[in-house]
Amino acid sequence: MAEKDTADILIIGSGASGGVFAWHLSKIPGIKIVCLEQGTWNFPVADVAQSQPHPEAATQRERLTTPPEAKEGVRNWKNGYPYDFSDSYWRPILGNAVGGATLHYGAVWNRYHPSDFVGKSLDGVGENWPITYWDVEPYYDMLDNIVGVAGALGNPALPPIKARRQKPYPLGPGAEILARGFKKLGWHYWPTTTATLTEPLGNRKPCPTNCEACDTGCPREAKNSSDVVFWPEALSRGVVLKTRARVREITVNKRGLADGALYYDENGRLTEQKARLVVMAANGLGTPRVLLNSKSKLFPNGLANSSGQIGKNLMAHPMYDITGLFEHESAAPRRYSSTGLVSDQFYESDPGRRGFARGFWYLSTGYSGPVRAALGEPPKPRAMVVPAALRQERDSPLPWGRLHHAAFQQQYAHTVGTSILFEEIPQASNYVELDPSIKDDAGIPGIKLHFKRSENLENMIKFAVDRTTEMMMAAGATKILSAKPLAEGGAYHLMGTARMGNDPSNSVVDKWGRAHDVKNLFVIDGSIFVSAGSAVVTSTLQSLALRIADYVKDNSKDLLKS
Amino acid sequence: MAIKHSQTTPAPASDVSRRKFLQSVIAASAATGAAVALPGAAAASIPAAAVVATGDLAAAAAAAGAFLVFSDDEAALFSRVANRLIPPQGLMPGAGDIGLTTFVDGVLADAAHLRQPILDILQLVQAADDEVSSGEGLDAVLARIQQAHPAAFTSMLEAVYTGYYSHQDVLQALGWEHPGQEADTSETLDARLLEDVVARGPIYRHV
């Protein structure tokens, strides 16, 4: 077992939260930071946006030639760990590279609402966060200015935003059609905001085409991802990033403080990295996996788990796709440089009228190219594109032969879709645990997910399908073609499994992400979320990580005392 | 009549890209200056120098009129099949008429999991020799194969559709224009679309 120099800070995971945390803390002169990342660097090899004759061609060929992975151990990238989702109706989409899930997310950018932080007080469900929207707001603004966000300011679904915005894209044809429906009903809608540049920012180039290379990393560095925005500077300031490093456990000393990690390096050797402060940033499944596997005499149920809450309160965003047929007008994409719509019309609770607590969020667009239409996929935002390696279920390609061209015209030019993200309240039935019957290559246990839909969610789905039908008909749809859960899993975003709270008996970390049980252990990824909201999470997740990073930076002298 | 499908080099390990494997064969032969007969191109051989010069195996193969996976007979049959899957209609070309066979051949070279299913379908079509001489007969055979082997048939459809709708001629017929090199900032959001939304005021709960 090799030993390495003691780091001041050891970060587990280089993704959305780990990247911004490393970047911010590396500003402290002389600090020694080590990050262990189980994946590798992923370098997009081609400027897909310039692919001829159509940017979709390169990405679709890649999807076609990527073999579907086995059910066990399915990962977006290599060197992953196995997971069993036989007791869950969705499978996770996990990032396993430098940058984590930011490599394959679509960079849709939306803040939580103030009510998301006080769900128990307002709506009687879940728990309250130990912080409010107003505690996070300065970091929302700070982060937006760092990563570059394109969109329109003035959205009345959120408090006024002070951060800068780059030029928004125009609405695409599908979004224009749906806007008509929202407008007719007097419902809220807004152009999709994205953490994708429309103007240069530093050395990063703008996105010319929404070329749909998002799920493999942006070759123009236009999309906010940790490998592009945070890691170059962090590395230039001396952060050590070790790839293909699979962490088995966090170690503790006799005083019950975290003192490092045991991991398998790229050659499969068990290696020890000592540290004064340990930060978990391995996502809502990877973080509980490591903590639960970090058993000791002092922590027989897993590190920092005296509450028994690690792995519990698992939340995700179940999603539906609803597609409408618009026979009398064309929704065919004219160009790439366009955006879709979001709607917060039903985001906030109205249980007396709707029969469920909390709400859902719309994310809508049309096709960006013809291949997806021919393959029978419903039109969906690029944020909802499932990475090629996870395509276990297929949509049915369009008919062939003499029926083909008419079917294609209907699909490509006359269908518009919307995705709906639902807020699922934390449930006792929804959790993740270690599964020692399945192990990765290094013998580290995999995980098993347990996830069931609540009655609240079922009522919400029924209401949402009815309202969406109403909206599509108001927009001019002649019929609803399909209304179904998102294929290949039906849920995104991993949250809640080491949640924040003021009460150590039902939370794992405090308002600064600091473990109640272990004072030099922090958790900064989606595990710390207390509620899911129904908007996309990366803006909130990275803002929280930046806030915690600021706290650690301001208190580093005390926190890093040996 | 059996389809000729020659193979003069051993198959690569399943986890090795066939394209990379063939490139290594080419490189080895280039060292000796010999031409190389590639699998799937029984009637033609691609000079190693051509591959070295272009740096692209597929381009050299296409230039030499050879295929990486298909034999010439298989390629000819696949072109017929492709034209039944997506026939010409109006401005839209038939899939077999725009060189889709070369695209699918390249896909099969890169995707081991697609190779056998699609080659098996061609074998089944060929086995119905008498029936497939007419277009309608070929349609009937394809329909039966689709029913008996849905997964393999879907793989073939996906390959054909991906190639077809990535083709310059097809995109042109659909009215597509490539957006060009740089970000197009000529259009921007029409703020008037949002006036009603803004006028209705905040909809979040201020807590």
pLDDT exceeds cutoff 60 at B55: no
Instruction: Say which amino acid occupies B196.
Output: D
| Domain around B49 | 18-63
CA-nearest residue of chain B to A170?
A: B189
CA dihedral for B87, B89, B94, B95, sign (positive or negative): negative
Say if B185 falls within a structural domain. no
Three-state SS sequence of A69-115: CCCCCCCCCCCCCCEEEEEECCCCCCCCECCHHHHCCCCECCCCCHH
Cα torsion A383, A389, A395, A400 to 10°: value is 120
For residues A463 and A355, the answer to whether their CB atoms sit within 8 Å is yes
Q: Which residues are CB-contacts of A365 (< 8 A; sequence separation ≥ 6)?
A: A172, A174, A175, A192, A339, A340, A341, A379, A380, A381, A382, A417
**Would residue A405 count as lying in a domain?**
yes
**Quick one: closest CA in A to B177, which residue?**
A335
Interface list for A 204-233 with B (CB within 8 A): 205-209
Q: Which amino acid is at A558?
A: D
For residue A364, the surrounding DSSP H or E stretch is: strand A360-365
Task: Report the complex ipTM.
Answer: 0.89
Searching chain B, which residue's CA lies closest to the CA of residue A210? B183
CB contact under 8 A, A400 and B184: no
First to last CA, chain B: 78
Q: Are B59 and B97 in the same domain? A: no
Q: Which residue has the higher pLDDT, A114 or B26?
A: A114
Q: Considering the domain boundaries, does residue B194 fall inside one?
A: no
Segment B20-37, tens digit of pLDDT: 343 444 444 444 444 433
The whole-angstrom distance between A347's CA and the closest CA on chain B is: 8
Q: Report the distance separating Cα A12 and Cα A100, nearest Å.
A: 11
Residue in B18, B69, B162 to test binding to A, most A beta-carbons within 10 Å: B162
Task: Give the residue on A whose Cα is nearest the Cα of B172.
Answer: A53
> Would you give the DSSP letter of residue B28?
H
User: A146 touching B, CB under 8 A?
Assistant: no
Give the pLDDT confidence of A423-446 residue by residue, as tens digits: 999 998 999 999 999 988 888 999
Q: Which of B28, B63, B98 is the last residue of a domain?
A: B63
Report helix, strand or coil for B85: helix
> Helices in A208-346 by DSSP H: which ranges?
226-229, 231-236, 283-292
Query: Hey, are the CB atoms on A152 and B182 less than 8 Å from each other?
Result: no
A392 pLDDT higher than 50: no
Sheet with A431-439, strands from edge to edge, namely A83-88, A445-451, A431-439
Contact A156 B162 (CB under 8 A): no
Query: Which carries the bigger pLDDT value, residue A363 or residue B12?
Result: A363
Measured in angstroms, the CA of A375 and the nearest CA of chain B are apart by 6
Which residues in chain B have their CB less than 8 angstroms from residue A397's CB?
154, 157-158, 161
Report H helices in A170-327.
173-185, 226-229, 231-236, 283-292
Of B90, B168, B205, the CB nearest to A53: B168
One domain, residues B101 and B83: yes
pLDDT at B29: 45
In a domain, B112, yes or no: yes
Residue B95 placed within a domain: yes
Residue A145 falls inside a structural domain: yes
Rounded to the nearest angstrom, the gap between the alpha carbon of residue A80 and the centroid of all alpha carbons in its chain is: 17
Mean pLDDT of chain B: 75
Mean pLDDT of A304-321: 94
pLDDT of residue B33: 43
Residues B76 and B167 in one domain: yes
Which of B68, B182, B203 has the most A C-beta neighbours within 10 Å, making it the best mutation to test the interface with A? Answer: B203
One-letter identity of residue A311: G
Domain residues for the domain of A323 are 2-43+56-85+93-559
For residue B130, give the DSSP letter: T
- Tokens representing A12 are 């587990």
Helix (H) or strand (E) holding B143: helix B135-148
For residue A18, tell me if it sits in a domain: yes
Helix (H) or strand (E) holding A11: strand A7-12
* Half-sphere exposure (Cβ direction) of A290: Cα atoms closer than 13 Å: 31
Number of structural domains in chain A: 1
A468-481, pLDDT tens digit by residue?
A: 999 999 999 999 98
Which of A 153-182 lie inside 8 A of B, CB atoms?
Answer: 154, 156-159, 167-171, 179
| Cβ(A318)–Cβ(A457) below 8 Å | yes
Among candidates B90, B114, B204 on the partner chain, residue whose Cβ is nearest the Cβ of A348: B204
In A498-555, alpha helices (H): 538-554
Assess if residue A239 is contained within a domain.
yes
Query: Which residues in chain A (540-559) have CB-CB distances under 8 A to chain B?
Result: none
How many structural domains does chain B have?
Answer: 2
Q: Please, which residues have CB within 8 angstroms of residue A523's CB and are 6 or more apart in sequence?
A: A279, A280, A281, A287, A498, A508, A509, A513, A515
0.80 surpassed by pTM: yes
DSSP string for residues in A15-75 = SHHHHHHHHHHTTSTT--EEEE-SSB-----S-GGG-SS-HHHHHHHHHHHSPPPPSTT--
**SS3 per residue for A126-162:** CCCCCCCHHHHHHHHHHHHHHHCCECCCCCCCCCCCC
Is B88 contained in some domain? yes
DSSP 8-state symbol, B4: P
Give the gap in angstroms from C-alpha B49 to the nearest C-alpha of chain A.
25
Chain B contact for A374 (CB, 8 A cutoff): yes
- Say if A125 falls within a structural domain: yes
Pairing mode, strands A33-36 and A315-325: unpaired
Beta-bridge mates of residue A447: A83, A434
pLDDT band at B182 (very low <50, low <70, confident <90, very high): low
CATH of the domain at A421: 3.50.50.60
Q: What is the pLDDT of residues A180-190, one digit of tens each?
A: 999 999 999 99
The answer to whether A83 and A125 are in contact (CB under 8 A) is no
How distant, in Å, are the alpha carbons of A173, A444, B101 from that of A436? 50, 8, 48
Q: Which two tokens stand for residue A95?
A: 């990032």
Q: Is it the case that residue A199 has pLDDT exceeding 60?
A: yes
Q: Which amino acid, one-letter code, is at B192?
A: R
Q: Can you say whether residue A268 is alpha, beta or left, with left for phi > 0 and alpha for psi between -120 and 50 degrees?
A: left
Query: Rg of the Cα trace of chain B?
Result: 23
What is the rounded average pLDDT of the residues B172-183?
A: 71
For residues A549 and B7, what is the distance between their CA atoms, to the nearest angstrom?
60
Residue B129 distance to chain A (closest CA, Å): 20
**Which residues of chain A lie closer than 8 angstroms to B188, CB-CB?**
167-170
Residue B151 located in a structural domain: yes
DSSP per position, A309-336: -TT-S-EEEEEEEEEEE-TTS------S
Residue A533 near chain B (CB below 8 Å): no
Quick: pLDDT tens for A51-68: 566 667 777 787 788 776
| Residue B135 distance to chain A (closest CA, Å) | 11
Q: Indicate whether B49 and B116 sit together in one domain.
A: no
pLDDT at B46: 45
- List of chain A residues whose C-beta atoms are within 8 Å of the C-beta of residue B112: 67
What is the C-alpha to C-alpha distance for residues A223 and B62, in angstroms, rounded to an integer?
A: 36
Residues 328-347, chain A, touching B (beta carbon < 8 A): 332, 335-339, 344-345, 347
Burial class (CB in 10 A: 0-12, 13-18, 19+), B81: buried
Q: Looking at residue B10, what is its pLDDT?
A: 33
Q: Can you read off the two tokens belonging to residue A113?
A: 């609402």
Distance, CA of A201 to CA of A222 (rounded, Å): 9
Do B96 and B55 lie in one domain? The reply is no
pLDDT of residue A74: 39
Q: Decide: A117 and A132 in contact? Cβ < 8 Å.
A: yes
Contact pairs from chain A to chain B, CB under 8 Å: 178
Percent of chain B scored above 90 by pLDDT? 54
Q: Which of B142, B190, B207 sits opposite A118 (nearest CB)?
A: B207
Query: Among B154, B183, B202, whose Cβ lies nearest the Cβ of A207?
Result: B183
Same domain, B91 and B29: no
Does residue B191 lie in a domain region? no
A269 touching chain B per CB within 8 A: no
Select the residue of B113, B158, B197 nearest A67 (Cβ to Cβ).
B113
- Chain B contacts of A66, Cβ < 8 Å? 111
B184 belongs to a structural domain: no
Please indicate whether, in this complex, the C-beta atoms of B188 and A169 are within 8 angstroms of each other.
yes
**Which of A:92-131 have CB within 8 Å of B?**
113-115, 117-118, 121-122
